[in-house]
Amino acid sequence: MEVIIEALRSLWNNKMRTILSMLGIVIGITSVVSIAALGEGTTASVTESISSLGAKNITISSFSSYAYPLLYSYGMDIEEMCPNVENTIVTLQGNYTIKSDYGDDSETVLGIEEEYMDVMQYDILSGSDFSEEDHLNKNSVAIIGNVLAETLYPDMDPVGQMVYVIQDIGNFTKKNSFEIVGVMESGTTNQFSDPSNFLYIPFSTAEARIFQSQGEISNLVAVASSEDTVSKAMKEIDYYLYREFDGKEYYRISNQQQILNVMNDTLGLISFVLIAVAAISLFVGGIGIMNIMLVSVTERTREIGIKMAIGASRKRILTEFLVESVLITFIAGIIGILLALALTSSLEHIATSMSLHARLSPEIAIIAFLVSAGIGLLSGLYPANKASRLSPIEALRYE
Amino acid sequence: MRIVMHLEEIWKTYDMGEVKVDALKGVTFSVGEGEIVIIIGPSGSGKSTLLHILGCLDNSTKGRLDIDGIDVSKYKSKKLSKIRNSKIGFVFQRYNLLPKLSAFENVELPMIYSHMNRSERRKKALGLLELVGLGDRVNHKPSQLSGGQQQRVAIARALSNDPAFILADEPTGNLDTKSGEEIENLFLKLNKMGKTIVIVTHDMEMMPLGSKVVRIRDGEIESTEVKEIGSNN
């Protein structure tokens, strides 16, 4: 205990030198921790936005929508013929000018079947989901995403209001009117396209009034019975589609998890390389501390001699110097972590458009502490050993 | 009289490559409890070498050194530091206080090395500073004290672990006459309390202080004078 107090006092007595020797480690720890936190945060947010789409979801798309469009019947067939597929989601999608009496916006209109809101785990904030009759009778009703609602209906409740989808057909425009029955919120922000910015109408209504799609659909997603059966389900779907596409591979079957894995691998590699570069500054900082400690040993030769004469053992002298260098780097580590915390959170605020996410997990912090203390130990070892090997007689004579 | 230190045929030979130099050539003498022993000799007499060996800062080449009944002549670094800490109280010509520590903390330091607990240490250090007449200078740094005061702090430090003897190296060498006398008087006072004191010096004026005077020249003992007990009031 006294050793630590004495070391702190000695560091305090040489404030300027202590601060300067800490600097390298502070910079090193700050950059390493910041990069690690940004890497982890970004990975987490990508993971979240992708898995919010459902790790069990298998997306089916066609490369040739004229020759081989996706058909409504595929959904029913896949559900029936593939034992590992639990459910399919079929949607019609288009981009239109969406108008209200108060404003307009160009956004996605999505025709959805029953239970879509439940399957996607979206919340109905006010009003209600479509009723069975809405789907059966092709009613002109709509559910609006809460973000879009703010644009079209500022400071008011959209439920009960009319919304218009404007279609340009040839040289005339068609104005489709819908009554808003509900407001939804997606809960997750997807950085590619935000479901809270969509307008939702019943699939049957969309098919009859806007898309006139005659059995064709825009998106087909199959939901596997569990995350473990995803690859089996994909094989089953492939078997079915291969025949439907006349043996031509104009289709793609993909799973979010695969995309996620690739993205995570890439992000992991990028942050690893950046951390390795930043770690060089830690190494340089460690050398700086060793240098300072060596100077300190020389400066304090006489002090060491006196201490030895009044009974300090070699071990004690060794400990004193080691504790000092570990304290320097440990304090530098704490400062570095705090700076990294400040840096990453201000970066998040400044660069919102870059969608930077930082997450300083306890693991990163603990590793940073251990690494900085370890550097102190390693860079203090040689100077401390040198100090403890001094001959007391020589050290006492030293001017 | 109990013997606190005994040297038996101590030799110290420095190997200077081609030639070997004998700094001490079979020195034998004893220090009894409660004595003031003055070891006197001109420079180059082997006085410093003897001081280092008595202070357990160095090993002899040959011979036997008993301190407080323990043969320390074969001890290595770790055990020697323990002997220095517990059995020997060093007083140097240049005081050798740690400049950044207060008088109190300087006195406390050897007791930290011997793992004495905090409250005991505090009591002891304050008592010793009181004893050497610096009860009102406890928190002063060495730079705020006169030479004589610094040497008294050093003496208090030397006494902190109740050593077998105080080993003083030219203790008045850096002091003016008045401060020097004060230190001599302090030694006499401590001696009256039963402390054993060994003073290594070349200063003839210190001779009357000793109950025993060992003259050393060319690495050998030239003469040993013992005074009648009670003759140095």
Q: What is the pLDDT of residues A132-172, one digit of tens each?
A: 999 999 999 999 999 899 989 998 999 999 999 998 887 88
Query: Does pLDDT of B26 surpass 80?
Result: yes
CB contact under 8 A, B57 and A392: yes
State the nearest Cα–Cα gap between B205 and chain A, in angstroms. Answer: 25
Residue A78: other Cβ atoms inside 10 A:
22
**CB of A313 within 8 Å of any CB in chain B?**
yes
A14 contact residues in B (CB cutoff 8 A) = none
pLDDT band at A258 (very low <50, low <70, confident <90, very high): confident
The most confident of the ranges A9-23, A182-196, A359-373, B136-150 is B136-150
Give the per-residue pLDDT at B228.
Answer: 65
**d(C-alpha B56, C-alpha A245), whole Å:** 97
> Is residue B89 in some structural domain?
yes
Q: Kind and range of the H or E element at A371? A: helix A362-388
Nearest Cβ partner for A314 among B78, B86, B114: B78
For residue A264, CA distances in Å to A36, A37, A42 come to 14, 14, 9
**d(C-alpha A57, C-alpha B95), whole Å:** 83
Number of inter-chain CB pairs under 8 A, A vs B: 57
State the nearest Cα–Cα gap between B110 and chain A, in angstroms. Answer: 6
Mean pLDDT of A388-392: 92
> Is residue B148 in some structural domain?
yes
Helix-then-strand count for chain B, H and E: 6, 10
Mutate which: A306, A318, A391, vs B, most B CBs within 10 A: A306
Amino acid identity of A254?
S
B residues 162-201 lying closer than 8 A (beta carbon) to A? none
ipTM above 0.95, yes or no: no
Give the per-residue pLDDT at A14.
Answer: 84
Give percent above pLDDT 90 in chain B: 82
**CB of A10 within 8 Å of any CB in chain B?**
yes
Compare all CA atoms of chain A with the CA of B116 and give the residue at the minimum distance. A2
Query: Does pLDDT of A381 surpass 90?
Result: yes
A396 contact residues in B (CB cutoff 8 A) = 57, 92, 96
Higher pLDDT, B95 or A212: B95
The most confident of the ranges A62-71, A348-357, B21-30 is B21-30
Report the CATH number that the domain containing residue B13 is assigned in CATH: 3.40.50.300
User: How far is Cα of residue A176 from the mean position of the Cα atoms in its chain?
Assistant: 39
**d(C-alpha A307, C-alpha A314), whole Å:** 10
State the nearest Cα–Cα gap between B74 and chain A, in angstroms. Answer: 17
Give the per-residue pLDDT at B231.
Answer: 47
Segment A299-323, tens digit of pLDDT: 999 999 999 999 999 999 999 999 9
3 state SS of B178: helix
CB contact under 8 A, B78 and A315: yes
**CB of A307 within 8 Å of any CB in chain B?**
yes
> Is residue B70 in some structural domain?
yes
Domain of residue B52: give its range: 3-226
The pair of structure tokens assigned to B160 is 């902190």
The pair of structure tokens assigned to A270 is 């990028």
> Is residue B101 in some structural domain?
yes
> Is residue B91 in some structural domain?
yes
**d(C-alpha B157, C-alpha B102), whole Å:** 12
Nearest Cβ partner for B112 among A2, A302, A393: A2
Segment B89-132, tens digit of pLDDT: 999 999 999 998 999 999 999 999 999 999 999 999 999 999 99
Report strand pairing: A141-145 vs B88-91. Answer: unpaired
B112 contact residues in A (CB cutoff 8 A) = 2
- Length of chain B equals 233
The pair of structure tokens assigned to B62 is 């040959």
pLDDT band at A52 (very low <50, low <70, confident <90, very high): low
For residue A382, CA distances in Å to A286, A291, A343, B155 come to 12, 10, 34, 35
Give the per-residue pLDDT at A247.
Answer: 85
A315 contact residues in B (CB cutoff 8 A) = 78
The pair of structure tokens assigned to A395 is 């050290």
Nearest Cβ partner for A310 among B52, B90, B100: B90
Q: Give yes or no for a contact between B12 and B48, defined as CB atoms under 8 angstroms apart.
A: no
Higher pLDDT, B190 or A122: B190
**d(C-alpha A83, C-alpha B121), whole Å:** 82
Give the per-residue pLDDT at A189.
Answer: 58
> Considering only A40-49, A77-86, A95-104, A284-293, which range has the smallest mean pLDDT?
A40-49
Q: Give yes or no for a contact between B222 and B47, defined as CB atoms under 8 angstroms apart.
A: no
What contacts B1, CB < 8 A, 6 or more positions away?
A: B32, B33, B34, B35
CB contact under 8 A, A312 and B82: no
The pair of structure tokens assigned to A228 is 């473990």
> Is residue B90 in some structural domain?
yes
pLDDT band at A190 (very low <50, low <70, confident <90, very high): low
Give the per-residue pLDDT at A342.
Answer: 92
Q: Kind and range of the H or E element at B152? A: helix B147-159
> Is residue B231 in some structural domain?
no
Q: Give yes or no for a contact between A167 and A96, defined as CB atoms under 8 angstroms apart.
A: yes
Query: Does pLDDT of A49 surpass 70?
Result: no
> How many domains are contained in chain B?
1
Compare all CA atoms of chain B with the CA of A300 and give the residue at the minimum distance. B98
CB contact under 8 A, B90 and A396: no
Mean pLDDT of A235-253: 88
Cα A378-A338-A281 angle, rounded to 5 deg? 40
Segment B166-215, tens digit of pLDDT: 999 999 999 999 999 999 999 999 999 999 999 999 888 888 889 999 99
pLDDT band at B30 (very low <50, low <70, confident <90, very high): very high
CB contact under 8 A, A313 and B86: no
Give the per-residue pLDDT at A191.
Answer: 52
Give the per-residue pLDDT at A198.
Answer: 92
> Is residue B232 in some structural domain?
no
Segment B192-203, tens digit of pLDDT: 999 999 999 988
**CB of A311 within 8 Å of any CB in chain B?**
yes
CB contact under 8 A, A313 and B113: yes
**CB of A306 within 8 Å of any CB in chain B?**
yes
Mean pLDDT of A174-203: 84
Mean pLDDT of A100-108: 90
Give the per-residue pLDDT at B147.
Answer: 94
B88-91 β-sheet, strand order: B88-91, B165-169, B197-201, B36-40, B212-217, B220-226
CB contact under 8 A, B84 and A310: yes
Q: Kind and range of the H or E element at A60? A: strand A57-62
